[in-house]
Amino acid sequence: MFDYQRSIKSALLFAALVCVGFSCSDSSNSSVERVKVSGTVLYNGDPLSSAKILFISETPEGLIKSSGIIRHGIYQIPASGGPPVGKARVEIVPRTPELEELTQIKAEIKSGKMLSNPLDLNIPNIYNKNSQLTAMVSRDGQNSFEFKLESK
């Protein structure tokens, strides 16, 4: 006879161990010095309404990804989650706004504060999965980067 309760407990234990394993794997990067980054992103000359920015750094410890939200063309990633010092590949990817944001976005589009609807945004692959964008992140620098994207 199949014991459903034991099976469910085993599955939950396995899931918990997997989660612990993944969170522990990131702790090896805790010795890596991370820094704050910020800047602007323009799309066809206008501030990018809403997207996600990723800094992907190759370190001796492995790949380290840092991400932030671009809103009205501005992004800021605090040092606690920022990229490590050194060269980083940068990806800018579309982001679906949270449900709470949709009402605000619609109002901003209607009032003219937001120039483009983030739901209609089609960022070319040359800025995300095939990105050639880079940033040289420094320990003592301002680490403010501007990226200018074109839809063509």
- Written as tens digits, the pLDDT of the chain (152 aa) is 555 455 555 544 444 444 433 333 343 446 788 999 999 999 999 898 889 999 999 988 889 999 999 988 999 999 999 999 999 999 999 887 676 677 776 777 777 766 555 556 789 999 999 999 999 999 988 999 999 999 87
Residues 82 and 66: their CA atoms lie apart, in Å, by 5
Count of beta carbons in the 10 Å neighbourhood of residue 122: 7
Q: Could you tell me which of 82, 62, 80 has the C-alpha nearest to residue 135?
A: 82
